[in-house]
Structure 1
Amino acid sequence: MIKLLAIDLDGTLLNKGKYISQRNIDAIQAAKQNGIEVVIATGRANFDAQNIIKDIALDPWIIGTNGATIHTPSGELFHSAPLEKSMALSMLQVFEEQQLYYEAFIDNQICAPQYGRKLLFKEMEGLIKTKPDLDIDLLRLEVEIQFGQSAFLFIPSYHVMKDTNSDIYNILAYSFDEDKLKKGWSRFVDLPDVTIVQSGVHNFHLQHTQASKGNALKRLAKELHIDVAECAAVGDNYNDMSMLEIAGLSAAMGNADQEIKDACDFVTKSNNEDGVAYFIESFLIEINKK
């Protein structure tokens, strides 16, 4: 019996235009009507996720920043696993030295370098020159969506975060330059208490080893007195794997890599084909048969 459903946002609940379809909304409401606790589990910050779902009558728990935070339905911070502050600042220093775009997720803002917008568009143009068959409009939309997140703040340098009391929950590195991205990744692979995960082709996240969607799901299930075997989860990328692996019922989106599909119990349709709704409808049919 499914009692909790954890849903990723980007590439899962959101379509390519970053919208939630009416069919997905209807399926989520049907899950709630069947007594299922619906949880959002995303790499986005809590406040950004809240902005995306504000027009849906949902009020869910939100596992944010890849599991580094858990917020209650009322928006209060229930749990967090931030990066160690001095280590996080040294990471940001490396990114600035390498001219690698980053986003630092703190309490109420996403901090990004002032050079970021110009840099990403320059890298995008370079990528298009080497791969002219790429969909230019889709790449431009990708960048615009990146900068369209809630509470976005461009900063002159990471130094401004030294004087704040805010925790740094997650650092996202983003680049259209594959070599630069790999070089950035290689700088942090051996750091203690740090995990690196991907949520897309052009990025990676740095977070505390205790910060994962899987750990957050286990913590939340325990708080709600639900066994993880009674949890379902659906996602599309490698930052979803930890929750997909522990959930009693797991679904990979049709747009997921084969490795993710192979790790799941069920492969649903893509995010542009209402894959979340298709998954929910499938297991609700089984529930209602009993």
Structure 2
Amino acid sequence: MIRVVKLLAVDLDGTLLNEESRISQKNLDAIKYAQSNGVEVIIATGRAHFDVIEIFKDTGLKTWIIAANGATIHQPNGELFHSKAINHEDAITILSWLENENFYYEVFSNHSIFTPQNGRELLAIEMDRLKSANPDVSIEKLKYAAEKQYSQMGFSFIKSYQDLIGMKEDIYNILAFSFHEEKLKKGSSQFEYLEDITIVSSAKHNFEFEHKYASKGIALEILANKLGIPLTDTAAVGDSFNDLSMMRAAGKSIAMGNALEEIKDLCNEVTLPNVEDGVAHLIYSLIPVTADY
């Protein structure tokens, strides 16, 4: 049974960030309050480390960052502490298939997110076809999902995955994105034969490839061990399937109010939605506010 929360792992999208992909002042104050009370707050996200740094640049926050769904762990000073890259041959096999199937994809490396030059055009075509087939589809919601994907930092545009053959940089994560459900199902089941690869989903329209020893849960265990904190004294909060591994590893699991019902059912408790500062609500429930703060 969990005793005292000494480490809190917090997801970003759909959890700490609001609909504008920003940290609210209330959530920011709550994290600093937790840190001032001796709680190690770490960020655990599917985003790239350099993208997280951009989000944090005006906040004054310094935390350990688990990025690329657990493939990298960076120290608060920005130095890389641990990483687990995808085998390069596996990466090329995956990218070749995704490109042949006309998927929009992103390849996370040390310093860039590589994506095809025609990727955004592919998603625009998908949106047009969906709207033609079903006039009731909310094109605005689809555009919002696409724009959120494009809002990340560090994009480098390539003509083809072949531009990455022979690249010396590590590949930590490959994200595939589509608005077609059948296309997503086909893609997420296509590579079950790759023994060193796991597939997770962080949002409705994507699936992501990682090394089998790269997950938020594994990274949480590594970091807790590094910091000398028993897993029974940790907690994890998130909203999606790529958060499950750290929720299972942590001593206490918390789902956001906006999380999928399957996620809520698997967690110890549920906090408020991200648009209602659910992380802040959680932190103050774990560490009651004192008069001195």
Question: What TM-score, normalized by structure 1, do the two folds share?
Answer: 0.95
C-alpha distance in structure 2 between counterparts of 1:85 and 1:164, whole Å: 9
Instruction: Name the CA distance, whole Å, in 2 between partners of 1:137 and 1:226.
Output: 45
**Which deviations, in whole Å up to 9, do the C-alpha atoms of 1:108-135 show, x marking residues without a partner?**
0000111101111221232334444444
Using the TM superposition, give the Cα deviation of residue 22 of structure 1 relative to its aligned residue in structure 2, in angstroms. 1.1
Q: Aligned to 2:282, what secondary structure does the other structure show?
A: helix
Aligned pair partner of 1:277 in 270, 277, 280: 280
| Equivalent position to 1:216, from 216, 219, 232 | 219
1:207 to 207, 210, 233: 210
**Residue among 42, 56, 60 paired with 1:57:** 60
Consecutive unaligned residues of structure 1, counting only runs of 5 or more, are: none
Structure 2 residue 17 is matched with structure 1 residue 14: yes
Q: Percent identity between the aligned chains?
A: 52
Equivalence for 2:87: 84
8 Å contact from structure 2 (residues 258, 273) kept in 1: yes
Tell me, yes or no, if structure 1 residue 239 matches structure 2 residue 259: no
Equivalent residue for 1:139, pick from 137, 142, 149: 142
- Stretch moving more, 251-260 or 130-139: 130-139
**1:145 & 1:54 partners in 2: Cα distance?**
19
Residues 144-153 or 206-215, more deviating: 144-153
| Structure 1 position 128 matched with structure 2 position 119 | no
Query: Once the two structures are superposed, what CA deviation does each residue of 1:172-226 show, in whole Å capped at 9, x if it has no partner?
Result: 0100111212121221122101101000110000111100000000000100111
1:43 is aligned, of 24, 42, 46, to: 46
Distance (Å, rounded) in 2 between the aligned partners of 1:12 and 1:40: 11
Do residues 264 (structure 1) and 267 (structure 2) align?
A: yes
User: How far does residue 287 in structure 1 lie from its aligned partner after superposition?
Assistant: 10
Query: Counterpart of 2:172?
Result: 169
Match of residue 107, structure 2, among 85, 104, 113: 104
Q: In structure 2, list runs of 5 or more residues that go unmatched.
A: none
Distance (Å, rounded) in 1 between the aligned partners of 2:13 and 2:230? 26
* 8 Å contact kept, 2:67–2:73: yes
Could you list the per-position Cα deviations for residues 151-190 of structure 1 after superposition, in whole angstroms to 9, with x for gaps in the alignment?
1011001111113211110100100111212121221122
Secondary structure of the 1:285 match is coil
Residue number among 168, 179, 183 corresponding to 1:180 in the alignment? 183
Supply the distance in 2 between the matched residues of 1:57 and 1:280 (Cα, whole angstroms): 18
Count of residues in Structure 1 that have an aligned counterpart in Structure 2: 288
Taking the aligned partners of 2:142 and 2:21, their CA distance within structure 1 comes to 14
Q: 1:127 to 1:17 in 2, by over 3 A?
A: farther
- The 5 Å alignment of 1:244-255 reads 244-255=247-258
Structure 2 contact 90–194 (Cα < 8 Å) conserved: no
- Code of the residue aligned with 2:178 in structure 1: it is S
Q: Residues 58 and 115 (structure 1 numbering): CA distance in 2 closer, same or farther, change over 3 Å? A: same
Task: Report the residue type matching 1:219 in the other structure.
Answer: I
Q: Give, as a single letter, the amino acid of the residue that structure 1 aligns with 2:145.
A: E
Aligned equivalents of 1:222, 1:112: Cα separation in 2: 35
> By how many angstroms is 1:285 displaced?
2.2
Q: 1:246 to 1:98 in 2, by over 3 A?
A: same
Quick one: which amino acid aligns to residue 126 of structure 1?
R
Q: Quick one: distance in 1 between partners of 2:187 and 2:164?
A: 21
Provide the rounded CA distance (Å) in 1 between the counterparts of 2:102 and 2:120: 12
The alignment's TM-score, normalised by the length of structure 2, stands at 0.94
Deviation string 1:228-261 (CA, Å, 9 cap, x unpaired) is: 1111110000000000112112110111111111
Question: What is the deviation of 1:92?
Answer: 0.4
The 3 A distance-change label for structure 1 pair 23 and 131 is: farther
